[in-house]
Amino acid sequence: MGQYATVWDQKEASEIIKDWNGVDQVLLRNPHGASAKISLHGGQVISWRNELGEELLFTSNKAIFKPPKSMRGGIQICYPQFGDCGSLDQHGFARNKIWVIDENPPPLNSNESLGKSFVDLLLKPSEDDLKQWPHSFEFRLRVSLAVDGDLTLTSRIRNINGKPFSFSFAYHTYLSVSDISEVRIEGLETLDYLDNLSQRQLLTEQGDAITFESEMDRTYLRSPKVVAVLDHERKRTYVIGKEGLPDTVVWNPWEKKSKTMADFGDEEYKSMLCVDGAAVERPITLKPGEEWTGRLILTAVKSSFCFDQLELQSKGF
């Protein structure tokens, strides 16, 4: 451990840089060359690279990098509303706000920082936010990069309001894939899902695995804590773990919808897939003083095994 002591010093393992709009970004590194980049605009993870320098998250070539517009790609924080099922704009306002670095956050479990480089961010509602959503809260987000390259996002939302409030939530995660037609998702078989392309009709998954031949926008209900995205061409598997997030959203816009999005290339649907840990069907309700925690853990490994053989115990599930 001694030889890594300087590497794991917080000052050595993280660096604050600026994008071309002057917005701060935090760059995290681990000793083996993996990295993650987090923008204070939206508290958004905009890059996650493995030890070979390969980018694991998708960002559109047409993404708009200018506040208050959120960037198309990375991992967006959708709060206090996911989608358009509410009075707020699509996916809420947290992803459009400038967050601040939280220098003195309340402590997490000791293993949440052991052997990891991390940053703590904080969002509180502005006066404009309270006009459109009149609930006071503190939203703390920790993004950490482990020695093995795993990326973890931990959200803690506290009600500092005088009355209860409810919200929906998602980590809107854009994964980089080789070819959407060659990708499959395992772990969501036989589950009920809401088909967002058919007025949220309740259906049941029939396939042995989820594959893609057309536009898909589904919310899988009461999904397991771990699902896997297998990319055959790259021989890579993304393992997506979640805690406090009962649902999993799967989205790919396919060809027709891609052409309607100004910040998304016509052919880019082929190289991306969104798989989101979420709380959508049943909103989270917090009483005054209560706190909710939701966690996303992303792992990228070689696809030399079947999902059934995955040693989930080693990932803490």
Q: Which residues are annotated as a binding site?
A: 72, 90, 95
Q: Tell me how far CA of residue 112 lies from CA of 28, 62, 108, 255, 297, in angstroms.
A: 15, 35, 6, 41, 12
Ranges in the chain, pLDDT < 50: 1-8, 311-314
Q: Which two tokens stand for residue 146?
A: 């482990």
pLDDT at position 140, please?
97
Question: How confident is the model over 202-232, as pLDDT tens digits?
Answer: 999 998 999 999 999 999 999 999 999 999 9
- Say if residue 80 is preceded by a cis peptide, omega within 30 of 0: yes
Q: What SS3 class is residue 97?
A: coil
pLDDT at position 18, please?
85
Beta-strand relationship, 291-302 and 151-159: antiparallel
Q: Which helix (H) or strand (E) holds 151?
A: strand 151-159
Q: Which residues are annotated as a binding site for substrate?
A: 72, 90, 95
Question: How confident is the model over 107-158, as pLDDT tens digits?
Answer: 877 566 667 899 999 999 999 999 999 999 999 999 999 999 999 999 999 9
Go through 275-284 and write b for each residue having 16 or more CB atoms within 10 A of its CB, e for each that does not: bbbbbbbebb
Distance between CA 28 and CA 15 in Å, rounded? 7
CATH of domain 8-175+235-313: 2.70.98.10
